[in-house]
């Protein structure tokens, strides 16, 4: 279940605090606490959050830091270049993260969502020296970065910063050979530089977990005794050089399923890899917009358009070739917010989108369909 990376034995299932379950306007703390208890009891210890995940660091303090001895788990948080304009801002963001989390150190600190452009800002503002200084001061134990760009640029970053201790990558079987996300290529690049890897989006924001879908039907036919999600978990968690695979779980069922899969981890057999290849072909034959609901775009939009919610609606249209049943979700998505026709095509959202979605063009396609 574990490998000895970065001086600690860490169970390979990480608990992502980006998409926490909600109750009304707040997080569902009763459920989150139960999930954290069960997760720790099962022997897992890695919790992932970020300065930009609204309310997430505070939720981690309440659920974890205020309820368990600090040495019982690891906390990872992230510094996003969107939140800093000058070098002094980095210290302020870091101190804010510590305060929200109620801790005086982080186990893992990541430069958040690097690509060629944001890494340029890291270089200019001195972010690499900043994280090195934090480590020397004992305020963080390890530093690395999460990454959303191609293999070539990753190679350049790792060549220029051999001191980065690990890389967090978007890896799942659907994106493994995709030219956009380049899961395989970025993974192989990181490993060539001898970096251990954290995996994010192993279920592609839940898209690879849905039992009631064409994919679900296909995988259930291949093996009715396992969950659809377990295929994606086994694919990611079996990779060599893994620190942990992060999953943004928001129900006990998902947590139990992931625990079961990772505790009894069996790498996929050749015949199962073939099934996944066929599943990928099937999914690829249904054109969809690959939004993971990360919401990086939303903060950038001057018209306050709920982009991921609208993309979900549009994806239904693409799959079912119909706008039936979309009236209510569309009304909810646009309540007190911009509509597709509000888009001024500034493309600020597109600069932040890790999936490289052409959001402004999509908005113009939605206008005649829904307005």
Query: Which residues of this chain interact with ligand SF4, rule CB under 6 A?
Result: 291-297, 300-303, 305, 307-308, 311, 343-349, 352-355, 357, 359-360, 363
**Cα–Cα distance list, 303 to 111, 185, 343, 348, 356 (Å):** 28, 36, 7, 11, 20
213 versus 342: smaller Cβ distance to ligand SF4: 342
CB of 344 to ligand SF4, least distance (A): 5
Picking from 311, 312, 316, 321, the residue whose alpha carbon sits closest to that of residue 343 is: 311
Q: Which is nearer to ligand SF4, 40 or 343 (CB)?
A: 343
CB of 227 to ligand SF4, least distance (A): 24
Q: Quote the CA–CA distance of 144 and 162 in Å, as a whole number.
A: 10
Q: Would you state the structure tokens that stand for residue 355, as one six-digit string?
A: 């999936």
Say how far apart CA 8 and CA 63 lie, in whole Å: 22
Q: How far is the CB of 73 from ligand SF4 (least distance, A)?
A: 28
DSSP 248-310: ---SHHHHHHHHHHHHT--PPPHHHHHHHHHHHHHHHTS---------TTGGG-TT-B-HHHH
116 versus 346: smaller Cβ distance to ligand SF4: 346
What letter does residue 337 receive in the DSSP assignment?
Answer: S
Q: CB-wise, 153 or 360, nearer to ligand SF4?
A: 360
Nearer to ligand SF4, 14 or 113 (CB): 113
If the CB atoms of residues 230 and 292 are measured against ligand SF4, the closer one turns out to be 292
Question: Minimum distance from CB of 290 to ligand SF4 (Å)?
Answer: 7
β-bridge mates for residue 4, sequence order: 9
CB of 283 to ligand SF4, least distance (A): 17
Q: Which residue has the tokens 């969502």?
A: 113
Rounded to a whole number of angstroms, the minimum distance from the CB of residue 357 to ligand SF4 is 5
Report, in Å, the least distance between residue 342 CB and ligand SF4. Answer: 7
CB of 166 to ligand SF4, least distance (A): 23
**Helix, strand, or coil here: 316?**
helix
Nearer Cβ to ligand SF4 (155/293): 293
Q: Name which of 28, 85, 35, 104 is nearest 64 in CA terms.
A: 35
DSSP state for residue 340 in the 8-state scheme: G
Distance CA 303, CA 293 (A): 18
CA separation, residue 29 to residues 49, 60, 158, 218, 258 (Å): 16, 10, 39, 35, 20
The smaller minimum CB distance to ligand SF4, of residues 90 and 353, is found at 353
């Amino acid at each position: 279940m574990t490998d000895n990376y970065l001086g600690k034995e860490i169970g390979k299932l990480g608990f992502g605090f980006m998409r926490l379950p909600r109750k009304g306007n707040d997080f569902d703390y009763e459920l989150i606490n139960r999930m954290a208890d069960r997760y720790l009891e099962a022997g897992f210890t890695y919790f992932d959050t970020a300065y930009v995940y609204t309310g997430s660091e505070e939720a981690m303090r309440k659920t974890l830091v205020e309820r368990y001895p600090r040495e019982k788990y690891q906390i990872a948080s992230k510094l996003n270049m969107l939140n800093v304009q000058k070098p002094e801002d980095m210290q302020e963001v870091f101190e804010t993260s510590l305060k929200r989390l109620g801790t005086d150190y982080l186990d893992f600190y990541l430069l958040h969502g690097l690509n060629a452009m944001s890494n340029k800002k890291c270089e200019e503002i001195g972010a690499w020296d900043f994280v090195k200084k934090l480590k020397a001061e004992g305020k963080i134990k390890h530093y690395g970065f999460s990454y959303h760009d191609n293999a070539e640029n990753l190679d350049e970053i790792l060549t220029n910063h051999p001191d980065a201790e690990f890389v967090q990558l978007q890896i799942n079987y659907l994106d493994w050979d995709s030219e956009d996300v380049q899961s395989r290529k970025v993974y192989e690049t990181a490993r060539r530089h001898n970096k251990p890897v954290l995996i994010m989006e192993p279920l592609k924001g839940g898209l690879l977990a849905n039992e009631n879908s064409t994919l679900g039907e296909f995988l259930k036919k291949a093996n009715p005794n396992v969950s659809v999600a377990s295929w994606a978990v086994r694919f990611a968690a079996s990779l060599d050089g893994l620190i942990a695979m992060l999953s943004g779980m928001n129900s006990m069922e998902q947590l139990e399923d992931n625990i079961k899969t990772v505790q009894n981890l069996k790498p996929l057999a050749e015949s199962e890899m073939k099934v996944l290849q066929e599943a990928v072909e099937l999914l690829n034959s249904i054109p969809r917009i690959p939004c993971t609901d990360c919401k990086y775009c939303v903060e950038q939009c001057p018209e306050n358009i709920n982009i991921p919610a609208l993309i979900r609606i549009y994806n239904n249209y693409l799959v079912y070739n119909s706008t039936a049943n979309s009236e209510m979700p569309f009304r909810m998505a646009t309540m007190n917010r911009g509509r597709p026709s509000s888009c001024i095509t500034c493309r600020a959202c597109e600069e932040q989108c890790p999936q490289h979605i052409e959001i402004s063009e999509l908005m113009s396609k939605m206008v005649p369909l829904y307005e």
